[in-house]
Chains A and B, each alone.
Chain A
């Protein structure tokens, strides 16, 4: 639970956080799959980059992206076990480029709008701990 929140507020925050995360996760997954990976290593890779995702979220998302033609997959044996490897399709590459451009545009806009607030949080928090400093670049 976030600091100083009531239970009701914490629920609202959690819902909004998940909503915000949902779109970002798609970007991260598409970005990760520029190189071929299977589900488990993909989860580890995302977690190492601070974007932990459970299998109940990742695998349905992979299937959805594949059904939309953004990913291709194949079953292959590795370490004596069958694994399903995913990678970005040609359409996926193109969509990812467009989405990244969109993401950067949104990011710049949001930074322009809330940049001052982010600065205040950083000052209150001492070192701006926990805030991605790249967010401050837009102000």
Chain B
């Protein structure tokens, strides 16, 4: 086979590779005929045979083999235009609600381990984190790829305009996303720190002073932990729907009241059980414990007043500016719902 014919054969073979199997012979035969006709026409115009460079130029003009073959295939996509925005939305949720907390926990543990163990722990943790990224995004992609191939005429046709979310009335009650992110991060750090409170049974201070807390501490431990976890859930919801609804405003009010209530209880609950101070007599430390507990209990009314003031100032305006639950913003156009 001469060089020129070899070039055409190589081109057609490359096209064939990307064609649907059952149509390969037919399409390649037709393309070969087209190329041959083109070459003959050019040769008859020039009055001579085309050389290798001219054949190459002609083939280049016909297009890259993979592109030529792709035009014979039906349009295919892993995830189509209907599901793609939902796919991206779900990936964002996974990143914010699953991967980001993991990363923060990883950083938190690395910091907690101290400077000695930090780099090693951080890098081994980073390996786990990469696996998490690929696994979670892979699972989401596979689920959407399957959904793309499931008949969904019912989903596309069976919908009711009356069930769409109501249009948001105005910009009042808007929540800054940066605030929600800050709340999530702060609460996660609190939860992380709280879960590692090995000192919660007995506080040890550098000068050798041991402070033993009352058994009632367990109620506060679980109480504050629950408030922090619920606050994270609320902040994540606020991040996805950045405006206050009635329901979420009441939830926030409830959490603020619960947090304040716990704080006031701590003040009144005589939390200190015992203080052990080297070189100081037990009688003297017992006096100190009694004095601290009594003074804390005396400050109870002030604590309640402060908490009520904070709750009223922070939660009342929020409740007033919140919107009916289920409301939505529509392209920034505020239409009365």
Q: Is B54 an interface residue (CB 8 A)?
A: no
Given contacts A40-B38, A60-B71, A81-B36, contact A55 B29 (CB under 8 A): no
Across the interface, which residues of A come within 8 angstroms of B36, CB to CB?
81
Residue among A63, A75, A81, A83 making CB contact with B72, cutoff 8 Å:
A63
Closest chain B residue to A41 by CB distance? B37
Question: How many B residues are at the interface, by size bracket?
Answer: 10 to 19
Across the interface, which residues of A come within 8 angstroms of B68, CB to CB?
56
- Let me know if B72 and A55 touch, CB within 8 A: no
- Let me know if A39 and B72 touch, CB within 8 A: no
Across the interface, which residues of B come within 8 angstroms of A75, CB to CB?
29
Across the interface, which residues of A come within 8 angstroms of B29, CB to CB?
75, 82, 84
- Counting chain A CB atoms within 10 Å of each CB, the highest count among B29, B30, B31, B62 belongs to B30
Across the interface, which residues of B come within 8 angstroms of A57, CB to CB?
71
Residue among A59, A60, A63 making CB contact with B34, cutoff 8 Å:
A59
Across the interface, which residues of A come within 8 angstroms of B72, CB to CB?
59-60, 63
- Let me know if A59 and B63 touch, CB within 8 A: no
Q: Please provide the chain A residues from 7 to 60 with a CB less than 8 Å away from any CB of chain B in the complex.
A: 38-40, 54-57, 59-60
Across the interface, which residues of A come within 8 angstroms of B23, CB to CB?
63
- Let me know if A56 and B30 touch, CB within 8 A: no
- Let me know if A84 and B30 touch, CB within 8 A: yes
Q: Whole-angstrom distance between the alpha carbons of A84 and B34 in the complex?
A: 10
A89-118 interface code vs B (CB 8 A; 1 in, 0 out): 000000000000000000000000000000
- Let me know if B30 and A59 touch, CB within 8 A: yes
Across the interface, which residues of A come within 8 angstroms of B31, CB to CB?
55, 59
Q: Whole-angstrom distance between the alpha carbons of A82 and B32 in the complex?
A: 10
- Let me know if B67 and A56 touch, CB within 8 A: yes
Nearest Cβ on chain B to A64's Cβ, whole angstroms: 9
Given contacts A56-B71, A59-B72, A60-B72, contact A82 B33 (CB under 8 A): yes
- Let me know if A55 and B33 touch, CB within 8 A: no
Nearest Cβ on chain B to A45's Cβ, whole angstroms: 13
Q: Please provide the chain B residues from 21 to 53 with a CB less than 8 Å away from any CB of chain A in the complex.
A: 23, 27, 29-31, 33-34, 36-38
- Let me know if B34 and A81 touch, CB within 8 A: no
- Let me know if B62 and A40 touch, CB within 8 A: no
Q: Whole-angstrom distance between the alpha carbons of A54 and B27 in the complex?
A: 15
Across the interface, which residues of B come within 8 angstroms of A59, CB to CB?
27, 30-31, 34, 71-72
Q: Whole-angstrom distance between the alpha carbons of A60 and B36 in the complex?
A: 18
Closest chain A residue to B74 by CB distance? A64
Given contacts A59-B72, A63-B72, contact A40 B33 (CB under 8 A): yes
Nearest Cβ on chain A to B255's Cβ, whole angstroms: 51
Q: Whole-angstrom distance between the alpha carbons of A63 and B23 in the complex?
A: 10
Across the interface, which residues of A come within 8 angstroms of B38, CB to CB?
40
Across the interface, which residues of B come within 8 angstroms of A40, CB to CB?
33-34, 37-38
- Counting chain B CB atoms within 10 Å of each CB, the highest count among A38, A39, A60, A84 belongs to A60
Across the interface, which residues of A come within 8 angstroms of B33, CB to CB?
38-40, 81-84
List the 7 closest A-B pairs by CB distance, nearest first.
A40-B37, A60-B71, A60-B72, A56-B63, A55-B34, A56-B68, A56-B71
A-B contact pairs, 28 of them (CB 8 A): A38-B33, A39-B30, A39-B33, A39-B34, A40-B33, A40-B34, A40-B37, A54-B63, A55-B34, A55-B62, A56-B62, A56-B63, A56-B71, A57-B71, A59-B30, A59-B34, A59-B72, A60-B71, A63-B23, A63-B27, A63-B72, A81-B33, A81-B36, A82-B29, A82-B33, A84-B29, A84-B30, A84-B33
7 new A-B contacts, CB < 8 A, other than A56-B71, A63-B27, are: A40-B37, A56-B67, A56-B68, A59-B31, A60-B72, A63-B72, A83-B33
